[in-house]
Homo-oligomer: A and B are copies of this chain.
Amino acid sequence: MNIEELGKQIELAHGSGGKSTHRLIETAILPALKNSTLESLSDAAVINCEEKRLALTTDSFVVHPLLFPGGSIGKLAINGSVNDLAVSGAEPQAILLSLIVEAGLPMEIFLREIKAIADASSKAAVQVIGGDTKVVEHGKGDGMYITTTALGIVDPRINLSPRRIKPGDQIIVSGPIGDHGITILLARGEIDLEANLQSDSRPLWPLVKSMISVCPTAVKWMRDPTRGGVATVLNELSREIKMGIVLFEESIPLREEVRGACEILGLDPLHIACEGQFVAVVEKDLLSELLKELRKVPGGEGAVHIGEVREKPPGVVLAVSTYGGSRRVDMLIGDPLPRIC
């Protein structure tokens, strides 16, 4: 793909986390900034500091609306960044916080979000150690945008690498998927649907730690399926390892509200963002023990086995049903739900 094919302007889909985002990053950004750390495209950059491996990650949050059932932009901004560390096997240590605030934002909303940030960082056991505040004119923002950068230390016992993955490895997810994306969609009030649903935004490190306690090397790969959902992260993985990934359609954990909303709207729940779940590839032998431990941790009660890695078809994610049907699951194309994080 060459640069002319990118299109003439930035579109919302470039921020979807799906195919357009990938194209933009791979065609426009990576070639210009190339270095080996960046090219790994992992959730967090890992750099060595003497004997320790430091993990660093940054994310901007532009969720609309700012407040939604189960959370708000401040909570999301903390959990989003610490979770990128957690799925990189790193224990979160500190956060940097940068705010872009629109002039005219009511002070009580600003203060509410500072409190949400304080509460979420205390819950995730990280301190906010630095930051910045910028203000833009009314009409040049949308209340507030938050960028967080999280620093963590990689657990020295863990060994996450797609190169360790073999056919026969199993795929688990920590709980029901799509809660966050559908919650945001409904919170916008543009769709006449009522559901008793809330965002799953939560810190994932306690779940990851429980798996390390079973066996640090049992987990070979982990991602948190935010923008683009489970389908996008598993497609990235299957392409990288050149193996097939098979999901057991009926095992994918879905709340009734999410299933219903997706059916009505014609969305695939596998494309809907979570903000407090991970997908992991684990060793088959330790599968039940890992799930048992995960289910003891608050937030991990819904952890289940959803699929496995197979030799074929290489680079493809398939969802198979117990009735014998199978469908190809692709990355997210376009952006049905912009600004969900």
Contact = CB atoms under 8 A, between A and B. Distances in A.
Interface in A27-64: 28-29, 32-33, 35, 37-38, 44-45, 47, 49-52, 54, 56-62
Contact of A10 (B98, B102, B121): B102
Nearest to A58: B96
A21 interface: yes
Contacts of A8: 106-107
Max chain B CB contacts within 10 Å: which of A14, A35, A49, A134?
A134
A60 B134 CA distance: 7
B115 A32 contact: yes
Contact of A133 (B14, B102, B142): B14
Contacts of A99: 60
A129 B10 CA distance: 23
Contact of A38 (B13, B33, B35, B130): B130
B45 A121 contact: no
Interface string A75-117: 0000000000000000001101111111111110011001101
A168 interface: no
A315 interface: no
A135 interface: yes
A99 B315 CA distance: 30
Contact of A103 (B11, B37, B132): B11
Interface size classification for chain A? 35 or more
Contacts of A197: none
B6 A114 contact: no
A14 B135 contact: yes
A146 to B, nearest CB: 9
Given A111-B3, A127-B35, A15 B149 contact: no
A266 interface: no
Contacts of A149: 56, 58, 96, 98, 149
27 contacts: A9-B106, A9-B107, A10-B102, A10-B103, A10-B135, A12-B135, A14-B135, A21-B133, A25-B133, A29-B114, A32-B118, A33-B121, A33-B127, A33-B128, A38-B129, A38-B130, A49-B52, A54-B54, A56-B151, A57-B130, A58-B96, A58-B97, A61-B134, A98-B147, A100-B145, A134-B145, A137-B339
